[in-house]
């Protein structure tokens, strides 16, 4: 598995974005622009990109600020920026979208996001929905409510005591570590990601995965999720936008699929008429690295085929 290209793209935010591109085999029908999750990186999507490329999709996926091989003066590993992190992350996504528009001017773009990337994709959608043909919001949780506010309170206390640029001491215990311990008979604290032991082992062995995010990055991540939980933000998004919302029944990060169902129900109540959602049985957090990934990827391709025919 490999990408066709690896490039560095200068963003107006000052970041040098590490970008992977997988060209479609044969004539391309659309572009899938992928947004990865927290404490991982773009190269992990090579298998999905190969799958999509073989079915006529160009794939563009970049490392977000503070992740992978992307470089920015204000964004070392584990931090989005010294200020305005979410806005800069969204602006970087828009820079990649501008590149796609210049290189593939006649192709529709499907915006895809996993986990933190789902928050990034949704926040991008709230600002720039006319640029997007469809959106896939996967494995996110936008129903945090009071828990999200409590998390922000904890992070404010940590920022006062420790500073913004040091790793949070409490949020990893309340999230990644708690989710790992919640898996019955877990072998590692990362078993919540997938039932596929080989995939979990690769994640653990990857130095660009699983690190502890800074207090400031956690504040930005929680803030984006809470922003996606506000109905008012959807006012400018067209109601016939094709949307795919997917998650796993055994994913503690989405409250065992409840966060997936909550977002889908919210959007349907807001009048979104072209929305599909599914919570896969027995499936954990990383849908694309799960034991049933072939089924899940096939369902994504079928959905994409349907919306491109419409």
Question: Closest Cα partner for 9 from 88, 82, 97?
Answer: 97
- Can you list the domains of the chain with their CATH numbers? 5-143+230-309 (3.40.50.1820)
The continuous run of DSSP H or E covering 211 comes out as none
Query: What integer best gives the mean pLDDT of the chain?
Result: 96
Query: How do residues 29-51 score in pLDDT, each as one tens digit?
Result: 999 999 999 999 999 999 999 99
Res 146: pLDDT: 65
Res 151: pLDDT: 85
Res 2: pLDDT: 78
Q: Indicate if the pLDDT at residue 160 is higher than 90.
A: no
Longest dimension (CA), the chain: 56
**pTM of structure:** 0.96
Q: Centre a 10 Å sphere on the Cβ of residue 298 and count the other Cβ atoms it contains.
A: 13
CB 249 within 8 A of CB 282: yes
Q: Indicate if the pLDDT at residue 139 is higher than 90.
A: yes
Query: How many helices and strands (H and E) does the chain possess?
Result: 10, 8
- Taking phi first (over 0 means left), then psi (-120 to 50 degrees means alpha), and beta for anything else, what does residue 251 get? beta
Assign 145 a pLDDT band (cuts: 50, 70, 90): low
Assign 152 a pLDDT band (cuts: 50, 70, 90): confident
The continuous run of DSSP H or E covering 19 comes out as strand 16-22
Q: What share of the chain in percent tops pLDDT 90?
A: 90
Assign 163 a pLDDT band (cuts: 50, 70, 90): confident
Assign 184 a pLDDT band (cuts: 50, 70, 90): very high
Res 1: pLDDT: 54
Query: How do residues 55-100 score in pLDDT, each as one tens digit?
Result: 999 999 999 999 999 999 999 999 999 999 999 999 999 999 999 9
């Amino acid at each position: 598995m490999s990408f066709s290209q690896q490039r560095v793209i200068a963003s107006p935010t000052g970041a040098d974005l590490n970008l992977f591109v997988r060209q479609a085999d044969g004539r391309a029908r659309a572009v899938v622009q992928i947004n990865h999750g927290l404490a991982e990186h773009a190269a992990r999507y090579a298998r999905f990109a190969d799958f999509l490329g073989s079915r006529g999709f160009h794939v563009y996926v970049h490392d977000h600020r503070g992740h992978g091989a992307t470089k920015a003066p204000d964004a070392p590993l584990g931090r989005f920026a010294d200020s305005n992190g979410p806005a800069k992350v969204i602006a970087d996504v828009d820079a990649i979208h501008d590149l796609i528009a210049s290189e593939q001017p006649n192709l529709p773009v499907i915006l895809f996001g996993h986990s933190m990337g789902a928050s990034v994709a949704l926040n991008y959608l709230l600002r720039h929905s006319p640029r997007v043909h469809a959106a896939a919001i996967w494995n996110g949780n936008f129903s945090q409510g009071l828990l999200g506010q409590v998390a922000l309170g904890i992070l404010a206390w940590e920022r006062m005591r420790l500073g913004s640029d040091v790793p949070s001491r409490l949020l990893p215990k309340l999230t990644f570590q708690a989710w790992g311990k919640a898996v019955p008979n877990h072998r590692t604290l990362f078993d919540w990601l997938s039932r596929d032991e080989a995939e979990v082992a690769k994640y653990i062995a990857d130095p660009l995965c699983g690190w502890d995010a800074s207090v400031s990055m956690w504040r930005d991540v929680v803030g984006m999720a809470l922003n996606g939980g506000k109905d008012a933000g959807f006012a400018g998004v067209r109601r016939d936008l094709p949307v795919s919302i997917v998650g796993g029944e055994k994913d503690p990060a989405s409250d065992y699929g409840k966060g997936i169902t909550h977002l889908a129900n919210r959007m349907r109540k807001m009048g979104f008429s072209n929305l599909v959602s599914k919570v896969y049985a027995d499936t954990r957090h990383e849908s694309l690295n799960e034991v049933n990934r072939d089924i899940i990827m096939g369902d994504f391709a079928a959905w994409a085929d349907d919306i491109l025919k419409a």
